[in-house]
Structure 1
Amino acid sequence: MVLTRLIAKRLFGALVTLWFVTVLIFLAVECLPGDAAEALLGKDATPVAVENLRAELHLNDPPVERYVGWLGRVAVGDLGKSLTTNRPIAPMLATRLSNTLFLAATAAAIAVPLAIILGLVSALYRGTRLDRVISVLSLASISFPEFFVGYILLVVFALNLGWFPVLSGINPDMGLGEQLHRIVLPALTLVCLVLAYMMRMTRAAVINVLSNPYIEMAELKGCSRREIIVRHAFVNAVGPVANVVALSLAYLVVGVVVVEVVFTYPGLGQWMVDSVSKQDILVVQICGLIFGATYIGLNLTADIVAVLFNPKLRHPR
């Protein structure tokens, strides 16, 4: 009963946060420089044509009225049409979103198991030279922004060595092998983005569990260090580790925007950036809402996982 109330409370908080995100997205689009009607018609458009388009797009309506109308249409699944292509947003959104999820899932499939393994190894050999090398490399990875890592990978592996294409464009007609080959560099960039954080938090969680009395009892029974960490410490550190993985995946989905722009990848982030430059406000709003909802959903998942694995969080202090 207590667990159900906590989950319901977390879900309600997530919905309130999502509503607040919709307000921020609408206000941010309102603050974009320039006029959407003028940007769509071009510099040679007559004032009459601009005013007619503004009326057609309801840009002259009060902001509150436009916000309520937009939110109501989105709530019933009506995403509208792109202002630049006059095509429905929903089919294009499905294609772009599937590309972004494909890239993020590939990066996660590499980063999550690798981070857990490195975290366990670092905890197993804590204080050794191997632990220090892993820590230094992880700190160096955290220090570099994703666009810098992306450009370095482009210069080395695409321009100099020629192992991978400079542009990471994919389409449904390609086979899975060709698609994976084209997204190697952006996926590696995303791996570097989240690997170090997950690895260090896994190491910290395992080391924290090692200070518990039952670990000392396992040592007194003659269990090896490897068995203690893998069979006892890591099992009890699954809650914090799962929490960190969910938060890292949330950051991974949001961080994909910069990576897609660097590698010209046809995903949701690249589409949003292009739409900002073209003043396609409906597409910008939908893309921002998708990113916000994904981030909130993964944070909600991390919160629920933490409550499930840690009974102390189920009772107020």
Structure 2
Amino acid sequence: MGDILGLIGRRLGLGLIILFVISIIIFFMVELLPGDIAQAVLGQGATEENLAALREQMGLNKPAIVRYLEWLSGAVTFDFGSSVVTGERVTTLIGERFMNTLFLAAYAAVIAVPFAIVLGIIVALLRNSVFDRVANVLTLTSISSPEFFLGYILILYFSVKWGMFPAISSLSEGMSLGDLLYRTFLPALTLVLVVTAHMMRMTRAAIINLLASPYIEMARLKGAPPWKVIVKHALPNAWAPIINVVALNLAYLITGVVLVEVVFVYPGIGQALVDAVSKRDFPVVQACCLIFAATFILLNLAADVGAILTNPRLRHPK
């Protein structure tokens, strides 16, 4: 147990260091943008008094390192300042949007994860069959297609031609769960198509890689049916790579939804990031980027912990 806690502690410390480095990159990338930030926010018609007031509000009169330390100390307590466009607290502005993104990611994950694992097991059972070849072609097509392209294809058929689902995922307060699932089905399906293919192929590869192992050959010689060989013998030893790829795809579902949210006008944090970039709302941009980075690092840590718990060789490295 001590070895596991030590490994988790080291990976958590490494994650915090990486997040600190990313925070420096995020903050100073904004600083390196050409031109006057206040002028970019207010436009060319702004008066000197308004520009001076905005510079004072954003702390642009202070040295960059001082502003970074103030921003970092606020970020540690989830205080990212105020929006320069609306004046609203950034935490309030993106809090509900982030919950919407988490809901969409969870919606897609509930469908994609079990479907991908089961499909990967079936394809491994039917290796080199027609079903295996068709599945490989379809998954390669899905992986190679950009999210926005898949989204527009789904809108074309499911919304325009067939009229089954709305093209725009507009949400409102007081919606029932059924109505919410109905309105967000197309963006969730787009994410499912993107991540299912990757998880299915990794599940298939992990199981097939183990089928040549001596203990698998022994199970076959004892007369165990193919499904039992895979489910009871191969799958438990394949969990480590499967958990890794599932965690990485869950990270993508949260951090990679920007294009999907823009296509379906879904009110998530990705849409908020795009709106903030177009309006030069830099406090919101910095907060969204840092949240994306922290989420990705946290889910990578979860993948490492899952791999450690499911692999005795990682639990006992000596």
The normalised TM-score by structure 1 is 0.95
Contact 2:113-2:199 at 8 Å conserved across structures: yes
SS at match of 1:237: helix
1:194 corresponds in structure 2 to 195
In the TM superposition, residue 305 of structure 1 has moved relative to its aligned partner by 1.4
Aligned-residue CA RMSD (Å): 1.6
Structure 1 distance, partners of 2:88, 2:171, is: 21
Residue number in structure 2 paired with 1:207 = 208
- Indicate the residue corresponding to 2:179 in structure 1: 178
Matched, 1:285 2:289: no
**In 2, distance between residues paired with 1:34 and 1:186?**
37
CA deviations on 1:101-134 (whole Å, 9 max, x unpaired) are: 0101101111101100110000001111111111
Q: Could you say which residue in structure 2 is the equivalent of 1:254?
A: 255
Does the 8 Å contact 1:29/1:284 carry over to 2?
no
TM superposition shift of 1:310 = 2.0
Query: Displacement, 1:34?
Result: 5.0
CA distance in 2, matches of 1:260, 1:144: 17
Structure 1 residue 74 and structure 2 residue 75: aligned?
yes
Of 45-54 and 14-23, more deviation after overlay is shown by 45-54
Match of 1:17 in 2: 18
Q: How far off is 1:154 after superposition?
A: 1.3
Q: CA deviation at 1:173?
A: 1.7
Q: Which residue of 1 aligns with 2:231?
A: 230
CA spacing shift, 1:99–1:34, aligned 2, 3 Å = farther
Q: What does the per-residue CA deviation read over 1:38-73, in whole Å, with 9 as the maximum and x for residues that have no partner?
A: 344343221232122212221122211111110011
Q: CA deviation at 1:259?
A: 0.6
Structure 1 partner of 2:220: 219
User: In 1, distance between residues paired with 2:44 and 2:59?
Assistant: 21
CA contact (8 A) 1:186 1:259 kept: yes
Instruction: Give distance in 2, aligned partners of 1:119 and 1:60.
Output: 57
Matches for 1:134-145 after TM superposition, within 5 Å: 134-145=135-146
Task: Provide the residue aligned with 2:47 in structure 1.
Answer: 46
Name the aligned partner's letter for residue 254 of structure 2: V
Q: Map residues 61-140 of structure 1 onto 2, 5 A cutoff.
A: 61-140=62-141
TM superposition outliers: structure 1 runs of 4+ over 3 Å: 31-36, 39-43, 313-317
CA contact (8 A) 2:85 2:279 kept: yes
- 1:33–1:113: structure 2 CA closer, same or farther, 3 Å change rule? farther
- Letter in structure 1 aligned against 2:29: A
State the one-letter code of the partner of 1:184.
F
Distance 2:35 2:189 in 1: 37
Give 3-state SS (helix, strand or coil) of 1:104's partner: helix
Distance in structure 2 (CA, Å) of the matches to 1:81 and 1:66: 14
Once structures 1 and 2 are overlaid, which stretch shifts more, 11-20 or 307-316?
307-316
In 2, Cα distance between equivalents of 1:29 and 1:161: 45
Please report how far the alpha carbon of residue 315 of structure 1 lies from its aligned counterpart in structure 2 after TM superposition: 6.1
Q: Secondary structure at the match of 1:173?
A: coil
In 2: Cα distance, 1:121 partner to 1:77 partner: 45
1:148 to partner: Cα distance: 0.9
- Paired residue total: 317
TM-score normalised by the chain length of structure 2? 0.95
Taking only the aligned residue pairs, the percentage that are identical comes to 53
Note the residue ranges of structure 2 that are not aligned, 5 or more in a row.
Answer: none
1:314 CA displacement: 4.7
Whole-Å separation in 2 of the counterparts to 1:77 and 1:289: 11
Question: What is the rounded CA distance, in whole Å, between the counterparts of 1:51 and 1:248 in structure 2?
Answer: 45
Is residue 152 of structure 1 aligned with residue 153 of structure 2?
Answer: yes
